[in-house]
Structure formats: C-alpha cells, structure tokens
Amino acid sequence: METVKLTIDSKQVEVPKGTTIYKAAKSMGIDIPVLCYMDLHDLGVENKPAGCRICVVEIAGRRNLAPSCSTVCMEGMEVKTHTTRVINARRTVMELLLSDHPKDCLTCPKSGRCDLQDMSVRLGIREIPGQEFAAMSTYKKDFSPSIIRDVDKCIMCRRCETMCNQVQTVGALSAVNRGFMAVVAPAFEQDLVKSPCTYCGQCVAVCPTGALTEVDHTAKVIRALADPTKTVMVQTAPAVRAALGEEFGLEPGTLVTGKMVSALRKIGFNYIFDTDFAADLTIMEEGTELLDRLTRHLNGDKSVKLPILTSCCPAWVNFFEHNYTDMLDVPSSAKSPQQMFGAIAKSYFAEKLGKKREDLVVVSVMPCLAKKYECQRDEFKHEGNPDVDLSLSTRELANLIKQFNINFMELPDEDFDRPLGESTGAAVIFGATGGVIEAAVRTAYELHTKKALPRVDFTELRGMDGIRTATIDFDGLPIKIGIAHGLGNARKLLDQVRSGQADFHAIEIMACPGGCIGGGGQPLHHGDSSIIKARMAAIYREDAGKSIRKSHENPYIIQLYEEFLGKPMSEKSHHLLHTQYFDKGKKDIYIK
Amino acid sequence: MHLLVCGGTGCRASSSDLIVDRLKAEIASNGLENDVQVIMTGCFGFCEKGPIVKVLPDNTFYTQVKPEDAAEIVREHALKGRKVTRLLYTDPVKKEHVSDSKHMGFYRKQIRIALRNCGFINPENIDEYIARDGYQALGKVLTEMDPQKTIDIIKKSGLRGRGGGGFPTGLKWEIASKNKADQKYVVCNADEGDPGAFMDRSVLEGDPHSVLEAMAICGYSIGASKGLIYIRAEYPLAIKRLKVAIDQAHEYGLLGNDIMGTGFNFDIELRYGAGAFVCGEETALIHSMEGLRGEPTNKPPFPAESGYLGKPTNVNNVETFANVAPIILKGAEWYTSIGTEKSKGTKVFALAGKINNVGLIEVPMGTTLREIIFEIGGGIRNGKKFKAVQTGGPSGGCLTEKHLDIPIDFDNLVAAGSMMGSGGMIVMDEDDCMVSVAKFYLDFTVDESCGKCTPCRVGNKRLSELLGKITDGNGELEDLERLRNLSNVIKDTALCGLGQTSPNPVLSTLDNFYDEYLSHVVDKKCKAGRCKSLMQYVIDPEACVGCTACARNCPVNAISGERKKPHEINTAICIKCGACIEKCKFDAISIK
C-alpha cells in the first residue's frame, strides 16, 4: 500500500495515500474541529461539501487556508492546525455562522445536543460583532406530522441533503436559492407534506442544529397521564431498549430493558406493554401470509405476487406508495407492530378491562419519527379514534423521564405487564436490519415443514451491508431472501423486482440505515456510526438471552388467537391486523 | 467597394442593422449592386463613436452614423467618391478630421490578435473567415504536427489564461493530455459575468470560428473528441452566431467526424447558463452542465484530472482560445516578441467609465495605464481629473495616480493590489465615491454568491452591510478595522475564486483611499457627492426669490417659506429626491 509522509504541527506522520489531513491528524491525536463534515463509516455515507470552513488549516506554500476534511495529504506537506492565523479565521467563520443564526438557544429543542452550540462553546465565542445592522435569513416554519423544519437555523451543512438524496434516494430536500438566502428545503420551499418525504427522519438524525427536529408529543402524553378518566398504556419498540441508556451516559450497546420498564411505571402509565408482543403477532400474520402466497405460487397460481415485502416500516410504506404505485399489491398487507398493538389494545384488551376505546390512550415509544405520522393515518382509526394515539421518540422518553425527576441509573429492573408485554427473541430482533425476516423465517420454517428448526440463529441474514441476499433451506425447499436497509438500497432491490430480474420469495426493507436501531428518533450519534453497530449487537444479545425465541411459541400470542382472533388471516385478524396501501405517485404540481 | 457596418451589440442597439438595410436599399435604387457590397461585421471596438461604418478599400472610418445617413453615404461616397466629412472622426486635441482609423489615438497603439477579424469579416460567413487564414492552423496541426508538438508551441508561446486566472495554457493542455480516459472534453468558458465586460461577447459575435477552430486544435492536442461551449443565456446574438458558425463548419467538414479527411473527430455543443455569475468558475460551470446546482467544489481534483462527468476536461476562456490559431500559424517566437517577460501577447480590455473613448481595445502586455487612459482612451471625460481605474471587475482592485506608469501584466497588477481579471477597466474621476464603488461590487457578489461556504455566503453580506452602514452615515471607526479583518478572513477561507477575490475592492479602496473612508465615518461627509445620506440639499438664501415652486413640488413637504422670501429645506425630513432642484429656475438649490 502506497503511503505519504507529511508533517502536522511539527510532528511527522505516515499515512496511506489518499488520506485527508483531517483523518491523518486524528490518527495522531490532533482533533481538528469539523462541523459540516460527517463520516458514517459503517454505513458507507460521507458528507464532505467543504462548505463550513471551520476545519481550515495552514499549509506551507499554499496561499490560502485549506479545508482539512477534503484536502488529501501530499508527500512533504507541512500542515499547521492552530496558528494565530488559523484560529482567527476559524473564530471569524464561527462568528459569521452565529451572526445569521437565531439566538433562542434556551428554548431550542436542540439545546444541549446541538453541534453548532458545542462548536461555539469549544471555540470560546463570547460575542458576535455588528449585530445591530446584520440581516438574518428567515423562512416560514414548516410543521409536518413527524418533522419540524425551522430553517432559520440551517447552516448549509448539506448533511440532510446527502442523506435524503444519496442514501435514501427520496429527494425531498435539496439546496435552494442562492447566496445569503440559500437553504436546504423541499422544491420551491414547499412544505414537507407536499414533498415525497417519507418521514424516515434520517435528516433529523444528522442535522447539527435545530433546523430539523421532531414533533414533540411529550406534553400531550403528560396531559393524558394527568387525565383521571383515561387509562394510559405504553408500548415500547425493540430498538429503544438498546439505545435509551445512551441518554443517561451509558455506553452505546447497553441493554436497559428492565430500567426502561421501571421508569415507565414510575412515570405513571397504567400498563407497561411491549411492542415486541405485537411483533410476534406480526410474524404470525405475515408468516402465514408468506406461506399462503408461497404455497399457491408453488401450486402454479399465476395471480399470486412474489416476493412478499415486509411492511412494518412506515417510512418504507410511504416510499413505495410514492415510487412503486404499480406494485401496491406486492407488500404484505400486515400492519406494523405499533399499529397491530393499538388495534388489539383497543379491542381485545379494552374488552378485558371492560372499558370503551375512547377511554384508552395508547402511547408508543419508538426509535422512529415516521411512527408519529403512521399513527395518525386515517385507516388506523376507528370512527375517528386512533388505534395508537401518540408516539414518543426515544429522545422524548428520556426527556420525560428527566422531567418526572427519575434517577434512571438507580432504577431496579422490572418486568412488562401481561398479557401484552410478553415477547420472544424473534420479536426483539425486529430492531435490527435482517431481524424481521429472520423472525419470519423461524416461524415460517416450522409452520411449513412441521419440523423443529435445526438452528434458531440465521447469521447469514445479519450484518451491515446495505443489500444482502441468502437462500434458506426449508427442508428441501430453497427460499430466497433479500434484505435492504436505507431507502436507496431498497430502491435498487425494488427496481429489480419491477423489471422481473429478482426471484426473491421474501424481501425485508428497513428505511433507516442499520434498521430501527438507526432510526430518526434515537439518541443522536453525532456522526459516530460505531454507535449503531453497538446497538445492533445489543439487540442480538437480548434475543440470545431469551428462553423463547420463536414468535409462534409465545404463550400470550397463542392465547390471543384462541380467545379472540381465531387464527392468523381469519376474518377478524384481517379486519384488525391488516391494511391497504394508497397511490401517492407523482402528480402534476403547478405553483401559481 | 465594401461598406462594413458594425454589428456588435452596442451598435445594434443604435440601429446599425437599420443602417445595413438602408444602405442596401440605397445601393439597389442607385443600381450599384454589382459594385458596392454591404457587410455586417463584428465589433470595431470604438463603441463611444458607434455606429461605425467603414469603407473599403480606402479605409474611411465613419462614426456615429444614423440610418438617415445611409443615403448620403451611398450617393456621395459610393457614387461620387466624396467623403461625408461630417461623419468623420475629429481628433479632440488637434481638432482635425481623421479618415483612416490607423491614425487615430484610439487605434494607434492597439495590436489586434484575438480581435483580428472583428470589424473585418461577416461573422456569419465562413468563407470570409477562411479567406483570412481561417482553419489553416487546424489544417497545419492535423497534417503536420502531433499532439505533443502542438502543446509545445502553446507552452513556448507563454500564452496564459485570459479569463482572469492567468494559468499557463500550454501547461493546462499538457496535464489534460497526460490523464488517460476513454473520453475527454474541451470546454470553452463563455459565461463572461463581470459587470461591464464585453470582451468575450465581441469575439463570439464578431469571429465565432476563431473559437471553434481553437477548440478543435485543443481537442486534437489533449485527445478529446467533444467540445462544449458554456455560454451565458444573456448573449443571444453570440449564441446565434455560434450556431450558424457550427453549422457552417459542419458543412465544410471542419467539425464533426473525419475532419479534413484526417480521421480526427471533434464536435461542439452549446450549453446555456441561467444567470449565475458563479457559473463562470470552472467547477461550478462543469456542475451546471451536468445538471447539478451551479456550485463550485473543492480543488483538487482539478478538471484536467476529473472534470465534466468525471472525465479529464480542459476549460479555457474565449479570449484564450482566440489567440491559439495565430500562435500556431505565426509561431511561438512571434507571440513572445509581444508583451512582457512573464505575460506574453496582448490583452483585450473593455474600457468604460468616465473616459472619452469608451470601447473595446486590445493592447500588448506591458502597455502602461497612462497610455491606455490618456492616449487610447482619450483622457477623462468633461475635463475632470483622473481618480482611479478599477481592473478585474468584482475580483479586482483600484489603481491610482501612482500606478499610472506600471506596465500592465498579470504579475504587476497583482503586485499593485489589483488583478488583470477578464479585462474590465472602469475609469473613475473625482465625482466617484470609492466607498460606493466598493459597495457596488460587494452588492454584486452578495447577489451572485452561490451560498455554499460560510465566508462568502455570510461574510460578503456582512461586508456589504458594513459598507452600507458607512455610506448611510452610521459608520464608526472600528467598522474600518472590521472591514479589513473580515475581508482578509474571507479571502483566506472562501471555497472558490468568487469568495476569495470578492473582498479585493474593499481592501484596495481601503489601501488607496483611506481618507475617503475616514471622511465618511468621522466627518460624515462624502466629498465626491455620491452618498445621498451624507449630503444635504440646501437653498441659497441669496439666490432664492421665494417663488414657492420647490415647496409646492416637494413630495414630503420638507420646504417651508413665505412667498417672495427665501425658503428653507428641513434636512431631517428631506428624502433627497431632487424634485426641488429640477423645479428651481434660479439655480438656488445645491447639494452639499
């Protein structure tokens, strides 16, 4: 491997050819500040516009300062990262950024977790000169069901644009306008709801300021909890328990399931249930649907569409409702676990409690921002009353815990309530890319072959590669599985399906890179993708530690079918647990 | 006999196309079609005295011709051989008529290489281009020289980029030729954006084939088969002329496949700009052609390595290309005999501002400013005093009295605190306020900044606000320090040439006219009388007769006074619209 030798701050270093000054410095323990630059190495994403000019350094012989994030090391280069010239330039650039930024830190939803704020603190900025004559670039605030755009705070780092266009290939956000009013926004500065936005929230996950934040349901949850006429139950997604601890200083990848339940109980929810329960339910329905389609296909029924696509990810559902309107009968008709839970809670469990659905409030805790949008979709309401009333992100839950004076670290481990709190290992792996389909395989195998699984772990379905394929042997019947995470990868697989090139039986799609553990509502990773990997490991650890690891062996699921639903894909199951999809394809939009 | 009528945009705006029509009509009605021909040519350069009509073979140079004069020109000069003396140029010093342009102060010191055909041929007739050695250079290169030999001649000639960068052209071609790829491109930068610059426009309108031929020669040298001309949409006549020229070249086998039967393929396409000055920057230009947002990207990699569609691309300015064919035909030694040691050849300048002879000139490098302004330019208009000359447009600086004897070339101008730029030269007199000049250029760059990098997006805006603060009369002494510091940081940290040079007008005027800044800030006075906020409209009580005309016409009722008694203007209310001055028949109101 070719290397180059150079000097940084008077110390020699040898690095592989093609290394940037920023990375070379990092390897020497020199931490050059970066703001717009973001390298999500494990996800194969790099945002490198070289636009913020915070990371500039001095290079001997070069007339001007160089952006270290984008300047490649050359043999014999002499770099200085903290001369007076550099520090003066860096501080002036920071002052310029702050001069065109709202000064409402104290009430900004990003305060305390804001990269711009951190940088200002790090650089020791104490005043912004010339404010009385300084214009500010201001824009209309945009409220969508999941994401709030407050782009007065946009610093043109282009991270959201990179995620939305390169990674997700959704194309809802791009740079618009020129010069001082340049900002990242949907086309013609329209609202998000008019754009092809899927609400995946990856833009929110990477935004360094308060320009992109989530719609906050915390206040509504507190009000519901305070209402004595309401019975409030909470369901928690699998990915939350692998990440919540980060908000309290724990190492990424620490499982905090027991503490999470304990905290929710202390907050005052009437019932602490688990979305994982509904995940097991989803496997029952979707696994049966897969086998049904598979059997008919193998018997020569030409009307059957294969592959079956998983449909638990609402951003993914939005994506194919926009882009694959000719294939709306291809995905599974099963609802997502969040919504299945809500439907069962407000029917089966309402009956058990002897309460009307209007007196129940179902709150979900999700790693996801699209779930906020999903729970208000009209088809998930019964006579105007939603199956799931509110959806909190992991970040909001952490804030709620702090607001209720709970010392998270001191909490004991507690268990979920029954009957909607018991789940298997198959359910918890829903949180990672490949988990849904692995859970489906565990059940579908035994249902189809009527034999016990030779192994429970299907490691060939796991991993961080954007597109993965595997063939699972169902006792002589090869089942071809496709997996994609990140909507850009999903698009590649779907285009293959559309053109007839793909011969998969089942495909799992997760909109967020990494799967739900990398969701838009999770604790911010601030550009460190190793955090996502650590969360993924935690998910599989939780699965391995469970005594029951196949969805169809969940006794409470068995009980639910016996007492209430009958069997998977029964009429009642169909009515409560299945849904349809809508054409949201491109229409002519004329701006008058 | 030939009657050449200037068809440059300036003269066309004064109906030179009507002159052509009238001349043709007169010739027809006098039965002279076989003896007298009317040709519409490119720009003669002497725009101040346009529309121009030149008579061949006796070289009579008629100025400020009107369509009504056509009859006289035909009847007197064409028919009877008598010059129309009232249309002849009058030397302002000797007060004599000058018939042949080579005796005029404007033309005497010019050597027209890039403009060699402008004013001599009909740009829409390829035969006239060929008659003046057109496409000979291409023929020579394709039949007698190999690519490296061609590059060597350009290298030896010392030709440097005429777009402003001054990079050695031969070296640029050589780098592109050395990079291996399956496709390479030659790009002509015709996005001439400097306010007041029309050098490239005149070449494209008056001699489009010179650019096409040079691009083909470049393609042969570097191994490119495709050429692209990126031309600003605001040059419709140039676009038309290029289209005609490309079609004609195709017809004659001088563009397209198997040029001149040598097996060399080269074709040229036009691409249009859309009103963005920043797209004159080569990487922004390339991205604009790729259909992306017109934003510059980090260099390296340079276009010669990775340019249009990621392929090796050579980008040159129009004027640079216009010099190529003569160099090939007349040799590198000939070219090096003109100019200075480090800047060979000539430069086209667009002379404008407070100068008597506004127009397009081409002079050898090394000509002094004094020669250009006072000999070629004919001195300052209206007998005013020379104050400064702005070179290089919004990227350049001001040169003053003490710089008048500097031989103009790339390096001398930079050493003097300005730069050559693309060739704009705006002459200023005592009535020009240098602070306003700086503000004018900053307002331009604020408008044109793409918005990608912080220093240009926000920094230039802040510079413009500071200058506005000063011209509005609110300036403070520390603002001058801030102007300087901010300008230096912007120059040091901006991503592309636009931001890196936009503070030049500020720094240059601060250096050379600090007293004017002080006067604005400390005394709140604008000595040039331009900054309205610092001026007061005053009625001279001695001259005022109390006719009340001013008071009756003041839109804000700022003037008070009784009939027949001297009136007074309330400066606090006065909006300085000038209506009172217009109405006063007694010259009693002045601006101080």
Question: Is the separation of the CB atoms in A108 and A41 below 8 Å?
Answer: no
**Helix H or strand E encompassing B289:** helix B282-289
* Statement to judge: residues B441 and B417 lie in one domain: no
How confident is the model over A97-149, as pLDDT tens digits?
999 999 999 999 999 999 999 999 999 999 998 888 899 999 999 999 999 99
* Statement to judge: residues B193 and B235 lie in one domain: yes
Question: Is the separation of the CB atoms in B69 and B148 below 8 Å?
Answer: no
A295-304, A534-543, B495-504: least confident range: A295-304
- Is the residue at A591 inside a domain? no
The CATH number linked to A149 is: 3.30.70.20
* Statement to judge: residues B461 and B492 lie in one domain: yes
* Statement to judge: residues A545 and A412 lie in one domain: yes
* Statement to judge: residues A472 and A540 lie in one domain: yes
Indicate if the alpha-carbon torsion angle A495, A498, A503, A506 is positive or negative: positive
Residues of chain A with Cβ-Cβ distance to B165 below 8 Å are: none
The CATH number linked to B508 is: 1.20.1440.230
Task: Enter the pTM of the model.
Answer: 0.93
SS3 B408: coil
- Is the residue at A583 inside a domain? no
Put simply, whether B361 touches A (Cβ < 8 Å) is no
Q: Which of B300, B446, B486 sits opposite A180 (nearest CB)?
A: B446
Put simply, whether B466 touches A (Cβ < 8 Å) is yes
* Statement to judge: residues B162 and B311 lie in one domain: yes
* Statement to judge: residues A183 and A45 lie in one domain: no
Which residues, listed in sequence order, are joined to residue A213 by a DSSP beta bridge?
A148
**CB spacing of A53 vs B474 below 8 angstroms:** no
Confidence (pLDDT) at A587? 64
A467 burial type by CB count under 10 A (0-12 exposed, 13-18 middle, 19+ buried): middle
Extract long-range pairs of B543-550: CB within 8 Å, 24+ residues apart.
Answer: B543/B586, B543/B587, B543/B588, B544/B586, B544/B588, B545/B586, B545/B588, B547/B585, B547/B586, B549/B583, B549/B584, B549/B585, B550/B579, B550/B580, B550/B583, B550/B584, B550/B589
Confidence (pLDDT) at A423? 96
- Is the residue at A582 inside a domain? no
* Statement to judge: residues A308 and A409 lie in one domain: yes
A591 pLDDT more than 70? no
**CB spacing of B462 vs A96 below 8 angstroms:** yes
The pair of three-digit structure tokens given for residue B8, joined into one six-digit string: 């440059």
| Host domain of residue B31 | 2-103
**Helix H or strand E encompassing B511:** helix B504-512
- Is the residue at A148 inside a domain? yes
User: Is A422 a known active-site residue?
Assistant: no
* Statement to judge: residues B406 and B485 lie in one domain: no
Dihedral (C-alpha) A287, A289, A295, A299: value to the nearest 10 degrees? -160
Helices (H), B433-494: 434-448, 454, 460-471, 477-493
What is the radius of gyration, based on Cα positions, of chain B?
Answer: 27
* Statement to judge: residues A123 and A155 lie in one domain: yes
Distance CA A431, CA A488 (A): 19
Put simply, whether B476 touches A (Cβ < 8 Å) is no
**Look-up of token digits 């359910």:** A427
Domain boundary among A199, A214, A229: A214
The pair of three-digit structure tokens given for residue B106, joined into one six-digit string: 């404007």
Put simply, whether A461 touches B (Cβ < 8 Å) is no
* Statement to judge: residues B157 and B44 lie in one domain: no
Residues of chain A with Cβ-Cβ distance to B495 below 8 Å are: 50-51, 53, 67
How confident is the model over A219-260, as pLDDT tens digits?
999 999 999 999 999 999 999 999 999 999 999 999 999 999
Which residues, listed in sequence order, are joined to residue A72 by a DSSP beta bridge?
A20
**CB spacing of B469 vs A155 below 8 angstroms:** no
**Helix H or strand E encompassing A321:** helix A314-323
* Statement to judge: residues A522 and A539 lie in one domain: yes
Q: A329-352 in b/e burial notation, b at 16+ Cβ within 10 A?
A: ebbbbbbbbbbbbbbbbbbbbbee
- Is the residue at B116 inside a domain? no
Strand ranges (DSSP E) for B205-287? 226-231, 256-259, 264-272
* Statement to judge: residues A476 and A540 lie in one domain: yes
Nearest to A368 by CA among A232, A259, A510: A510
Q: Which of A72, A89, A179 sits opposite B449 (nearest CB)?
A: A179
| Tens place of pLDDT per residue across chain B (592 aa) | 999 999 988 899 999 999 999 999 999 999 999 999 999 999 999 999 989 999 999 999 999 999 999 999 999 999 999 999 999 999 888 889 999 988 898 999 999 999 999 999 999 999 999 999 999 999 999 999 999 999 999 999 999 999 998 999 999 999 999 999 999 999 999 999 999 899 999 999 999 999 999 999 999 999 999 999 999 999 999 999 999 999 999 999 999 999 999 999 999 999 999 999 999 999 999 999 999 999 999 999 999 999 999 999 999 999 999 999 999 999 999 999 999 999 999 999 999 999 999 999 999 999 999 999 999 999 999 999 999 999 999 999 999 999 999 999 999 999 998 999 999 999 999 999 999 999 999 999 999 999 999 999 999 999 999 999 999 999 999 999 999 999 999 999 999 999 999 999 999 999 999 999 999 999 999 988 889 888 889 999 999 999 999 999 999 999 999 999 999 999 888 888 889 998 999 989 988 8
SS3 A214: strand
User: What is the count of structural domains for chain A?
Assistant: 3
Q: How far is B424 from chain A (nearest CA, A)?
A: 24
Domain boundary among A180, A214, A248: A214
- Is the residue at A55 inside a domain? yes
* Statement to judge: residues B360 and B382 lie in one domain: yes
Confidence (pLDDT) at A589? 53
Nearby residues of B394 by Cβ (< 8 Å), 6 or more positions away: B194, B195, B441, B444, B445, B448, B501, B502, B504, B505
Confidence (pLDDT) at B532? 83
* Statement to judge: residues B466 and B507 lie in one domain: yes
Q: A313-322 in b/e burial notation, b at 16+ Cβ within 10 A?
A: bbbbbbbbbb
Average pLDDT rounded to a whole number, residues A332-359: 96
Question: Is the separation of the CB atoms in B47 and B350 below 8 Å?
Answer: no
- Is the residue at B112 inside a domain? no
CA angle A565, A481, A557 (to 5 degrees): 20
Residue among A14, A251, A351, A379 flagged as catalytic: A379
| Host domain of residue A69 | 3-82
Q: What is the DSSP letter of A101?
A: S
Question: Is the separation of the CB atoms in A388 and A375 below 8 Å?
Answer: yes
Q: How far is A125 from chain B (nearest CA, A)?
A: 16
Confidence (pLDDT) at A592? 42
The pair of three-digit structure tokens given for residue A418, joined into one six-digit string: 């029954």
Nearest to A34 by CA among A422, A375, A488, A527: A527
User: What is the count of structural domains for chain B?
Assistant: 5
- Is the residue at B301 inside a domain? yes
The CATH number linked to B49 is: 3.40.30.10
- Is the residue at B109 inside a domain? no
Distance CA B428, CA B440 (A): 14
Distance CA A378, CA A344 (A): 17
User: Is A312 a known active-site residue?
Assistant: yes
Domain boundary among B405, B429, B453: B429
**Helix H or strand E encompassing B427:** strand B424-429
How confident is the model over A167-216, as pLDDT tens digits?
999 999 999 999 999 999 999 999 999 999 999 999 999 999 999 999 99
Distance CA A391, CA A217 (A): 7
* Statement to judge: residues B169 and B310 lie in one domain: yes
